[in-house]
Structure 1
Amino acid sequence: MKRFTLLLVAMFPLTPAVGRAQLFTTSALTGDVVDGETLTGFSQFVAPYILPNGDTVFTANTAGGEQAIVAQNEVAFLTGSQVPGAAPGVNYNVFGTLIANDQGDLALLSLFDGGPISPANDRGIIVRESGTADLAVQKGDAVVGTGDTSDTLGLMTYDSAGDGTFRSTLAGSGETTISYLPHSDGSPQKKIIATGDIVDSNQVTETNTVSTNASRRLALYARKWSPFVTGSTALDVAGRTIPTNTGLLESGNSGFGLPAGTTIKDFFVPKLNDADQVTVFTEYHGFVSGTSVHQFQIDDTSVTSGRSVAKTGDMTPGLGGHEFNFFSNFVANETGGVALFAAASPSSPPANATSQFDPGGPQAGVVPVEGVWFEDSGGTLTLAAYNGQQASGLDAGVTMQQIAFPAFNDLNQVAFKTHLAGPGVIGFQTDEALWATDLNGDLQLIVRKGDLFDVDDDPNTEDLRTINAIAPIANSAGTGGVSTSFNDAGQLAFTLNFTDFTSGVFVANLVGTTLSADTEPDGDVDGADFLALQRTNPSLIPTWRTEYGSGGSVIAASQQVPEPSAIALLLLSTVTVATYLRLKPASQCSITIPAES
């Protein structure tokens, strides 16, 4: 789907207004039929996923009153249908956690119903590989290596190697275990760790986070307790079979970019990428105390290096006079880049400071500023946006509020949703927006609630609908065995709901990869390329039509769309634009009318 702005030229001065041009594709739309199921709406709460090849995975309602999970234009799961591998009459009831790996294989946690179902066996995890689904584990099944059965189930990871993990509470002992999922290739279920296990001569009392990668390694968090010590923690990193001694990083460690005289007190939420890098929250204490986001390079037996991405007290890039004081969340991509959501406070607030920021930028106030930072392709930590920032491209005084945790891809681009506040912003009508950075790290507006949006992929027609809601995106980098809405081709999947009660799943193409029609080449496809192709390779003209306007970032620069006066409009009504239309293919011509504020 393409939007291009038609520049109307007159001999009279015209008042400019800003229009936007952008490339989108529609993945699914209300009324579409997939595998005989008519789709009637898309979840406002469950983010769509996108695969490396641009295919999407999403949840939709159907005309039959069921819920479907659609993957690569197939209905992968449908409520009310038989669960494969379960007893006859056991059906999908309510879908829970869903993970899609890079190959498009799926792992799903689902509630069940039907005749044979009771509270003792009313949920399970289904793995769908190469288009075939099978029940991997069901509540009430024996948990291998424990001599007990599962009382609860939770899907943890499902990675690009096709390996997954799940957490369960044991019915008899009440202990918590993390195990590998059995798979259709014959791989058996295997216990990884359980509370009550003895690791490094200490008893494990808590284990709640695990991350896996394609190298068949994992990182997990375990809190350990011994009758003879107050307590200790460890980030355990090992191969697929955990040996007795696994504590590679533990409380009491020092170095790795920590301030001098300090040691690690605790680790939280390790995330592992395919480059065998583990990124974690670290709490440290000693000569100074604070928290940091750390990244470690690991192998099966050791930590080979480590670095501090950001820590308490560091000056915050892009916010002069501020320093980090709290880290809320982070994501790490496959190339080792990190994006984080953090709070920053003034380094030296004045005694009479009362405000956090003004429309032009942050002041040294008393209220912490929350924002998103990311490491660019050069490894430099960069500010993407902060609460209270002037919203780029919008009216003066319109600011970003309630910035959501970001998605992050291997091109070091971040994407996130925000609320808006300020002049002309109407609550529940124009108060949400979706943003992403381009390859230069500059923040660009993708869509805004209240905008007219063309849902038709046909370049010769338009179907404009008013955006009523922007659903959340998956706030991840697609590493560690979780899914993403933002792939490494720069494609961002998102769901929009419209005022006519329709909805759809769409993909914004935020990076031009290889542009076949870029003849110069200069990183974009424009009229000069068209003239060259006419002379040298007319067969590529259809490709030029598709790629026209694309560049290193196809979030096109804002163009000035004249807003003519009444006299100018009268004159323009007598001037034909046929000459202009002959110079551009019909597929590239449309008029963008700025929405009223």
Structure 2
Amino acid sequence: MSLSRCILSSVVLAALSFSTAASGDAIRAVALTTRTITDPQIDAEGRTSFWVANLPPRLLAGEDLGAFFTTTAVVDVSSPGLYAERQLGFVERIAAPSDQPPGLGAGFSYGTFSQMHMNDRGDIQFTSAVQGPDVSGVNNEAFFVVDRDGVARLVFRENQEFLPPIWGGESAHFRFLPNHQPSLDEQGRVTFAAYPTTPGTFATRILQEQSGQIAVLDDVVTVSTTTGPTRDDPPQSSLLEVTTMSINAVSSASNGNVVFAASLVPRADNNTQFQTTNAIVRSHADGMLSPVVLVGTQIDGATVSSIFRPVMNARGDIASLVSIDGPPSTRGILRASEGHLSWVARGGEVAPGSEPGTTFAGIDSVINLNEAGDLLFLAYLDVPGSTPDEGGLFLDRPGMGIVSVARIREQAPGTEAGAGFQFLRSTAAAINNAGQVAFHAELSATPSNRNSGIWATDRHGNLQLIVREGDMLDVSDVGEPADFRTISTLSFHAGGGGGTASGSGFNDNGQLAFRARFTDGTRGIFVSNAVAIPEPATVAILLLGITAIGVHRRARRTR
């Protein structure tokens, strides 16, 4: 479907100008609404995308249905959907429940929207239920992409028939794994796991789609009888198959290579010393699979007993949270780089850069791995003389070791004395390819209306407050009376933890997109440049856009 048919409304927002707050940061207002909206994602050029929920609007005293965005440009609030800035400052609705989806015939329409990913170049992948002729519970979900040029395409629909090249000319139907999240890489490829409904064919497969063409990764993993991961088939090798409903936690790197955790069973036609086991498996450019590590592998005297979601970058570095056999049983973070396995951190080990005697009490999660190999993770600490559950966000940089980004009970930058971080979540933290970290956190020893905020590090690693509950944002137009609204809640999209190919509200330039809800019930999408270092070309584009559009707008933050 063409962009002209997809777009029901085009909005020119005064989003190209900034004003500087007292702290030296600039915040750009993107959208303001009375509806429920999702956390925004942001691409390399600072353009955002977000959902407007299919829920009744909350009308405010003295407002009407036209008060969706700011008074600079008005769209119909009665039509929810997926919105994006196809050009900086131009918000367009690119998918709505009443639209006919691409790749489906007359009588079909989108239903309920869910998962969305936006890559650095502005492609958007999303999941939607579909409505139409002969739609049932086995074929009502589909993946779609709207590319950077605004062209929409169907990626895959459940129970869609196609001809996998690996099955000797027999067609197959596939169903998605429950709650599975596809990933979108920087070339526009969509990677997802599905299982075939063809009788007698059981193994879950990894599928990759690009520009309408679908490829199926191999389902055979060659495991060496020698120790350590290897790509080369030794004289003594064993063939293991990926088994039914076993693939989980698929992560895709920005170049399309894939890593996942899976259960493996020996091939029936292959005599092997291996029994069914779990493993981290990665793909290669030719579609072949090889193991990274198997459950039962010993590394520096520690035995891997279970595996969680792995992540991988384009150069092939892999990291994963794993369980380690006792005594005592604990968790650790395993890194694989150039065929070498090593521990990043393990429960019970000394925590670098911490107080004397401090150890990792437990490793909570691997958050993500950037293209430079920087690894962000959340861990809890055992600090002598301290109360339990102290922990924080940590960054492991190749050749530099582990450094602390933020610690529970540590003084939060930009806040009054005594205000410390109280609660950190792995799902609310992100790392970009410049090594900057952004996160949302709750505070202790603060008033209830000021007890959370968003922080990020600059290019030098200095942690700065971006925005905080209780702050006031001026969302008025230039020439209009100031319209200060008090923030009641904040959030931002940290990404799905799917490697570098997962959408995020924090781009490589350090721009951070966030959602704010105000005390009057309105909600808004905003972009902060507090820790951003814009390229000269970006500045030129902004100045040109301001001149060409002739619209100037301000968005200030005060405390």
Equivalent position amino acid for 2:436 in 1: Q
Higher radius of gyration, 1 or 2: 1
Shift of 1:407: 0.7
Contact persistence 2:471–2:558 (CA under 8 A): no
Equivalent position amino acid for 2:216 in 1: K
Moved more, 453-462 or 67-76: 453-462
Among 315, 323, 328, the residue aligned to 1:283: 323
Moved more, 173-182 or 203-212: 173-182
Q: Against the structure 1 CA distance between its residues 282 and 119, is the aligned structure 2 distance closer, same or farther, given a 3 Å change threshold?
A: closer
What per-residue deviation string (whole Å, max 9, x for no partner) do you get for residues 245-266 of structure 1?
Answer: 62243234444xx3xx334334
**2:84 is the counterpart of 1:70:** yes
How many percent identity over aligned positions?
A: 25
The answer for the alignment partner of 2:396 in structure 1 is 375
Shift of 1:241: 4.3
RMSD: 3.6
- The 5 A counterparts of 1:201-220 are 201=240, 204=243, 206-220=246-260
Supply the distance in 2 between the matched residues of 1:285 and 1:396 (Cα, whole angstroms). Answer: 43
Among 157, 160, 164, the residue aligned to 1:141: 160
Q: Against the structure 1 CA distance between its residues 476 and 107, is the aligned structure 2 distance closer, same or farther, given a 3 Å change threshold?
A: closer
Shift of 1:462: 4.3
Q: TM-score, normalised by structure 1?
A: 0.70
**2:516 is the counterpart of 1:496:** yes
Q: Against the structure 1 CA distance between its residues 512 and 240, is the aligned structure 2 distance closer, same or farther, given a 3 Å change threshold?
A: closer
Q: Against the structure 1 CA distance between its residues 225 and 75, is the aligned structure 2 distance closer, same or farther, given a 3 Å change threshold?
A: same
Supply the distance in 2 between the matched residues of 1:592 and 1:213 (Cα, whole angstroms). Answer: 36
The answer for the alignment partner of 1:50 in structure 2 is 42
Contact persistence 2:509–2:534 (CA under 8 A): no
Among 232, 236, 250, the residue aligned to 2:281: 236
Q: Against the structure 1 CA distance between its residues 169 and 268, is the aligned structure 2 distance closer, same or farther, given a 3 Å change threshold?
A: same
**2:290 is the counterpart of 1:246:** yes
Contact persistence 2:453–2:466 (CA under 8 A): yes
**2:490 is the counterpart of 1:467:** no
Supply the distance in 2 between the matched residues of 1:378 and 1:175 (Cα, whole angstroms). Answer: 44
The answer for the alignment partner of 1:59 in structure 2 is 51
Supply the distance in 1 between the matched residues of 2:417 and 2:493 (Cα, whole angstroms). Answer: 27
Contact persistence 1:52–1:487 (CA under 8 A): yes
Supply the distance in 2 between the matched residues of 1:398 and 1:444 (Cα, whole angstroms). Answer: 14
What per-residue deviation string (whole Å, max 9, x for no partner) do you get for residues 374-407 of structure 1?
Answer: 2369734221222333333323333322212211
Q: TM-score, normalised by structure 2?
A: 0.75
Secondary structure of 1:402's counterpart equals strand
What per-residue deviation string (whole Å, max 9, x for no partner) do you get for residues 202-251 of structure 1?
Answer: 663521122223444222222224597554222222324444x6224323
Supply the distance in 2 between the matched residues of 1:464 and 1:235 (Cα, whole angstroms). Answer: 51
Contact persistence 1:161–1:213 (CA under 8 A): no
Among 391, 413, 416, the residue aligned to 1:395: 416
Shift of 1:505: 1.2
Gaps of 5+ in 1: 6-19, 31-39, 350-362, 518-539, 547-586
What per-residue deviation string (whole Å, max 9, x for no partner) do you get for residues 175-202 of structure 1?
Answer: 4623324333x5234255499xx98246
The answer for the alignment partner of 2:183 in structure 1 is 157
Secondary structure of 2:182's counterpart equals strand
Q: Against the structure 1 CA distance between its residues 342 and 286, is the aligned structure 2 distance closer, same or farther, given a 3 Å change threshold?
A: closer
Equivalent position amino acid for 2:239 in 1: D
**2:341 is the counterpart of 1:296:** no
- The 5 A counterparts of 1:194-593 are 200-201=239-240, 204=243, 206-226=246-266, 231-243=276-288, 246-255=290-299, 258=300, 261-285=301-325, 290-298=330-338, 303=339, 305-320=340-355, 321-330=357-366, 331-346=368-383, 363-365=385-387, 367-375=388-396, 379-405=400-426, 406-423=429-446, 425-426=447-448, 429-456=449-476, 458=478, 462-475=482-495, 479-513=499-533
Moved more, 158-167 or 283-292: 283-292
Contact persistence 1:295–1:307 (CA under 8 A): yes
Shift of 1:452: 0.9
Shift of 1:514: 5.8
Shift of 1:280: 1.5
The answer for the alignment partner of 2:216 in structure 1 is 190
Supply the distance in 2 between the matched residues of 1:373 and 1:179 (Cα, whole angstroms). Answer: 32
Supply the distance in 1 between the matched residues of 2:471 and 2:361 (Cα, whole angstroms). Answer: 37
Contact persistence 1:97–1:155 (CA under 8 A): yes
Shift of 1:132: 1.2
Shift of 1:2: 2.0
Supply the distance in 2 between the matched residues of 1:486 and 1:505 (Cα, whole angstroms). Answer: 14
The answer for the alignment partner of 1:352 in structure 2 is none
Moved more, 316-325 or 169-178: 169-178
The answer for the alignment partner of 2:10 in structure 1 is none
Supply the distance in 1 between the matched residues of 2:240 and 2:144 (Cα, whole angstroms). Answer: 36
Contact persistence 1:92–1:110 (CA under 8 A): yes
Shift of 1:108: 1.4
Q: Against the structure 1 CA distance between its residues 442 and 26, is the aligned structure 2 distance closer, same or farther, given a 3 Å change threshold?
A: same
Contact persistence 2:101–2:109 (CA under 8 A): yes
Secondary structure of 2:425's counterpart equals coil
Q: Against the structure 1 CA distance between its residues 378 and 248, is the aligned structure 2 distance closer, same or farther, given a 3 Å change threshold?
A: closer
Supply the distance in 2 between the matched residues of 1:421 and 1:502 (Cα, whole angstroms). Answer: 26
Contact persistence 2:374–2:396 (CA under 8 A): yes
Contact persistence 1:404–1:418 (CA under 8 A): yes
Supply the distance in 2 between the matched residues of 1:182 and 1:411 (Cα, whole angstroms). Answer: 29
Shift of 1:47: 2.5
Supply the distance in 2 between the matched residues of 1:113 and 1:86 (Cα, whole angstroms). Answer: 10
Shift of 1:324: 1.1
Supply the distance in 2 between the matched residues of 1:76 and 1:590 (Cα, whole angstroms). Answer: 25
Supply the distance in 2 between the matched residues of 1:249 and 1:317 (Cα, whole angstroms). Answer: 26
Supply the distance in 2 between the matched residues of 1:207 and 1:84 (Cα, whole angstroms). Answer: 29
Equivalent position amino acid for 1:209 in 2: A
Number of residue pairs matched by the alignment: 472
Q: Against the structure 1 CA distance between its residues 251 and 21, is the aligned structure 2 distance closer, same or farther, given a 3 Å change threshold?
A: same
What per-residue deviation string (whole Å, max 9, x for no partner) do you get for residues 55-80 of structure 1?
Answer: 11111256124223324233221122
Shift of 1:93: 1.2
Contact persistence 2:195–2:204 (CA under 8 A): yes
Equivalent position amino acid for 2:25 in 1: Q
Supply the distance in 2 between the matched residues of 1:514 and 1:188 (Cα, whole angstroms). Answer: 37
Gaps of 5+ in 2: 1-17, 54-75, 222-236, 547-551
Q: Against the structure 1 CA distance between its residues 69 and 516, is the aligned structure 2 distance closer, same or farther, given a 3 Å change threshold?
A: closer
Contact persistence 2:311–2:498 (CA under 8 A): no
Equivalent position amino acid for 2:471 in 1: D
